[in-house]
Amino acid sequence: YDPETPQYSTGDPTSFAYISARERWPVIITQGIDDVHRSAWATQDEEVLKEGKWIVSELARLKYELQHDREITPLPDDGREDVEGYNKELKALGNPRWHSVPWLYSECYLYRRISSIFQQTQKWKSYDLFARQKMSTFRSSRPAVLELAARYKDIVTGFESEHTIKGAKTQEELEEAEKILFIEMCEICLWGNATDLSLLTNLSYEDIQKLQGSEARKASEKNIVVNDLGKAFAVLTSAQHSGKKERRVDIVLDNAGFELFVDLILAGYLLAAGLAATVVLHPKTIPWFVSDVLPQDFASLISALADPQAFYSALSDDDKQAGKTPTPLSNAEVSNLSFLFGHWSRIHAEGQLVLRPNMFWTEGGSYWRLPKTAPSLYEDLKESELVIFKGDLNYRKLTADAAWPTTTPFSEAIGPMGPASGVRILALRTCKADVVVGLLEGEDERIKATEGGGEDSGARKWAWSGKWAVVQFSDGKA
């Protein structure tokens, strides 16, 4: 169930895969080693320390194999069901080396292999080596978080008390306003993805903050190369007008921290606006691509909001060293954040906001395989009015990370998840990898010719940095 079009490979010097394998992954492993080192040496428990040392040595071994372009070794049997699938595929690929292997498989393998190291211990099984990074970038998103919290409170109270949007007088105005608001909410949710941690090896906190404010969002609209939000809105409103009670929207999550925060903003808005009756969130089950959401990240976010003053008065080590003191939140800011906390806790407790993990999301293959290899998940997704796939990796998996011509229609590039799948899909993706489909003739060339776009280097550099985005819809009909 894979396409015939070849996939991007770490051996192709014009692909972002090449740089990823050689430059980014070793840095990510090193950061992981530092994190485990910190936790291991902070403990009084002999066994934890002993296992911590072993984890560090295994991570160092993995880094060595990667940097010296060794053969990728089969995963050890760590008791999880997906080992066999990973190892079968490795064999089918002909026991490849790190520097010349399909990008998608090898990058998934990397995180699965890291997870297997922790799985083999007693004391570190549920440890997330990326948790520290995730929470500290969330803390540094404070300005955008406060701005959005204020906006969210306004919108949701508007819907709850007056069942309307402020200022809309006629039915037509109301519908137009609803559509604009939907688009804004989705675009917030889209750009929240521009700041994932696996790319942070080269972004400063200031850069992140600039990326997140509303000014930045307006300026970025011209960077959404394809924008199908109107189609997605039409699907949700027609379900709403049909009088159907069980209307569900799914979000296949990407990153924790600020991105999860904006995903919850979108989810809460969809529920308050009546565009969905339930929102199902799909997190990962093992630490994944550095910043992806685990169920415990959801819990950490909610508990940060439970006492926001305490959360924001804790300083990062860097800030402490720089002699900074925390600025307390104002009363209004605390009240806006408490409103968020209250609303999210309530919709979660009432079962309108559901978390539904599945091991399929961390397998090594693309979503072309979903209908065959994860049939119950497939049936489940068909029940949804709209399945929103967040972020770059989900997009790569939808399109099988294959080197499609950029004018290939989106619904064709997603294969079995496209026409006749019965699944309505909306991809919200800031581009951080080579694969891009659904463009108009000449568009790729036009953007390539912009500054840093890649020009005639043979590389699609414009699609690597998160500066450009695509929002694409497939209706899943025959």
By CB under 5 A, name the binding residues for Mg ion.
Answer: 196, 254-255, 289, 292
CB-wise, 195 or 255, nearer to Mg ion? 255
Q: Are 140 and 209 in contact (CB under 8 A)?
A: yes
Shortest Å distance, C-beta 447 to ligand F6P: 17
Task: Work out whether 12 is an interface residue with ligand F6P (CB under 6 A).
Answer: no
Which range of residues in 40-48, 77-85, 162-170, 191-199 is near ligand F6P by CB under 6 A?
191-199
d(CA 161, CA 90): 57
Binds ligand F6P by CB under 6 A, chosen from 119, 198, 220, 362? 198
Residue 432 binding result from Mg ion, ligand F6P, none, given CB thresholds of 5 to 8 Å by partner type:
ligand F6P
Report the first-to-last Cα separation within the chain, whole angstroms. Answer: 18
Q: Which does 367 bind (CB under 5 to 8 A by kind): ligand F6P, Mg ion, none?
A: none
Contact 267, 353 (CB under 8 A): yes
Give bridge partners of residue 250 from the DSSP assignment: 280, 387
CB 197, min distance to ligand F6P, A: 8
Which of 472, 339, 345, 353 is closest to 414 using CA atoms? 472
Of the pair 248, 432, the CB lying nearest ligand F6P is at 432
Distances (CA, A) of 243 to 161, 226, 237, 291, 455: 21, 31, 10, 38, 51
Four-point Cα dihedral 209, 140, 261, 296, nearest 10: 150
* Type and span of the H or E element at 429: strand 425-430
Nearest to 469 by CA among 431, 416, 423: 431
Minimum CB distance to ligand F6P, residue 193 (Å): 5
Q: How far is the CB of 107 from ligand F6P (least distance, A)?
A: 5
CA dihedral of residues 302, 306, 189, 390 (deg, nearest 10): -10
Q: Which residues pair with 474 in a beta bridge?
A: 425
Of residues 427-446, which lie at the interface with ligand F6P (CB under 6 A)? Answer: 432-433
* Chosen from Mg ion, ligand F6P, none, partner binding at 199 (C-beta under 5 to 8 Å by type): ligand F6P
Out of 8, 12, 16, 384, name the contact with ligand F6P by CB under 6 A. Answer: 16
Please name which of 464, 472, 466 lies closest in space to residue 437, comparing C-alpha atoms: 472
Instruction: Determine contact, residues 466/210, Cβ cutoff 8 Å.
Output: no
Q: Does 297 bind ligand F6P (CB under 6 A)?
A: no
Residue closer to Mg ion by CB (options 48, 426) is: 426
Determine, following the binding rule CB under 6 A, whether residue 393 of this chain makes contact with ligand F6P.
yes
Work out what residue 113 binds among ligand F6P, Mg ion, none; the CB cut-off runs from 5 to 8 Å by kind: none
In the numeric block, which tokens belong to residue 15? 């692909």
Q: Which of 391, 415, 438, 476 binds ligand F6P (CB under 6 A)?
A: 391
* Residue 236 in the binding site for ligand F6P (CB under 6 A): no
Candidates 289, 311, 361, 389: give the one binding ligand F6P (CB under 6 A). Answer: 289
The dihedrals phi and psi of 155, each to the nearest 5 degrees, come to -65, -50
Q: How far is the CB of 211 from Mg ion (least distance, A)?
A: 15
Q: How many residues does the chain have?
A: 478
* Residue 193 in contact with ligand F6P, rule: CB under 6 A: yes
Pairing state between β 425-430 and 469-474: antiparallel
Q: Rule CB under 6 A: which residues touch ligand F6P?
A: 16, 20, 107, 193, 196, 198-199, 254-255, 289, 391-393, 396, 432-433
